Chains A and B, each alone.
Chain A
Amino acid sequence: MSSHAATGPIDHHHDHTTSTGIPNKKLLWWAFLASDCMFFGALISTHMVYRLNPPPGNAVPTQVFNIELTSFSTFILLMSSLLMALAVNAIQRGNVKSTRTMLLGTMFFGCIFLGGQVYEFEHFVHAQKMTLSNSIFGSTFYTLTGTHGTHVAIGVLLLGMMYVRTFKPANGGGLFMNFAHLLAICVTFGVAFIWFVPGLIEVVYGLPIGDLLRRAAIPLAVGAAGLVSLFWLGRSRGAVEFGEKNAVDVEAIGLYWHFVDIVWIIIFTAVYLLEYL
């Protein structure tokens, strides 16, 4: 854990109390992301090897993909990266309220991306008949994009934990309220990316909204209750412990979030766009 002098300005990029001059948390995340690069490098190259040498009976990607939806998802993920950068910028200036708003926005955009992926996978399996095991293309595609989606979901959870942490009272306690807050976040965003966003995409593609409400009435009601709880628990509760000194914590989570964005930048080009040539 990095430490800072109790008084005086905080240098958010350098920590003179560590031997490297870099906050230890940040160094840990950079080391982890470097290793994750190799993980995704192996997955992307496996997918590309099989695309360059397709076995007989492989799925035809251009007949399966929906490039409009994927382009929209890419845009959403880029905008979530912007909100994450603004969250870090806000906490570096000691603005906790703005940090909370930006963190919520980042989570919301992350859920839209995940919802798009849930819709895409469901559509590929049921309409296009491409499963994990009936073609090499399906195996490598689902493994790669599913692993990326799992990273995004973990990122949303980490952001949720950071968001809840911003409410920790300055005088201690509040553990139960924070657990309840985290639960409300998990329920709301879980319902959002599993039912609400995929349902909305189906509505855009012609599903009557009444059918969506009938099909997913219970999850949507639970999600709405979670959303109300989220706003109720998110009201101001007095002085909080969180502040500018925690900027390195928000920045560390931000590094992870931006990383899932840069991995998607590569996947979008290598897996989707190059198929259309």
Chain B
Amino acid sequence: MSAPTAAGHHEPSKFHFYIQVAMILSVVTGIEVVLVYLPLPKWFVVTSLLTLSAGKFMAVIFYFMHLRWDKVFCTILFFIGLVLAGGTMWAFLHLFAADAGKPLTAAALEMARLAVA
């Protein structure tokens, strides 16, 4: 087994910090599951779920993936992909939320074909 290359020059261990982050993430996951069964207004539950998920997402990328300690360029690079992905999702959901974007039923499709004919 290799020995540490430069004794005394290691950065401080993040062992306990990672355990704490993981415990918080587990508790947040538990809260998410319980939330959907509680008799709360739908808008509140949806907003809470999205906020908690975003919080978990950020905790993993900034702490477990070390973005907090790495150069800011890594954060920018990853967020370019993330913003493009989020923009794609937003665009898709809004395009298909419009009435004209909804998939036709079989009957409506047949009527549309007849109208064209």
Contacts and interface: CB of A to CB of B under 8 A. Distances in A.
B2 to A, nearest CB: 3
A48 interface: yes
Interface residues of B, number: 64
Nearest to B61: A262
A53 B102 contact: yes
A265 interface: yes
A204 interface: no
Contact of B57 (A20, A236, A239, A262): A262
B94 to A, nearest CB: 10
A137 to B, nearest CB: 13
Contact of B88 (A45, A170, A243, A266): A45
B10 interface: yes
Interface of A: 7-10, 12-14, 20-22, 26-27, 30-31, 33-38, 40-42, 44-46, 48-50, 52-53, 55-56, 67, 71, 74-75, 78-79, 81-82, 84-86, 88-89, 92-97, 170, 236, 239-245, 251, 254-255, 258-259, 261-262, 265-266, 268-269, 273-274, 276-277
Contacts of B77: 27, 30-31, 34
Contacts of B65: 254-255, 258-259
A42 B53 contact: no
Main secondary structure of the interface of A (DSSP, over half): helix
Given A31-B77, A49-B96, A20 B71 contact: yes
Given A41-B88, A53-B102, A262 B60 contact: yes
Interface string B65-93: 11001110110011111101110110011
Given A30-B74, A258-B60, A269-B49, A35 B81 contact: yes
Contacts of A170: 2
B19 interface: yes
Contact of A244 (B2, B22, B32): B2
Contacts of A27: 73-74, 77
Interface of B: 1-6, 9-11, 13-15, 18-19, 21-22, 25-26, 29, 32-33, 35-37, 42, 45-46, 49-50, 52-53, 56-57, 60-61, 63-66, 69-71, 73-74, 77-82, 84-86, 88-89, 92-93, 96-97, 101-103, 105-106
Nearest to B23: A82
A93 to B, nearest CB: 5
Contacts of B42: 277
Given A48-B89, A52-B93, A81 B60 contact: yes
B102 A92 contact: no
A84 B21 CA distance: 13
Given A13-B66, A273-B33, A273-B49, A49 B93 contact: yes
Given A37-B81, A268-B53, 20 more contacts: A13-B70, A20-B73, A26-B74, A34-B79, A45-B92, A52-B96, A53-B102, A56-B105, A71-B33, A78-B29, A79-B26, A82-B64, A86-B18, A94-B3, A239-B1, A258-B60, A269-B52, A269-B53, A276-B36, A277-B42
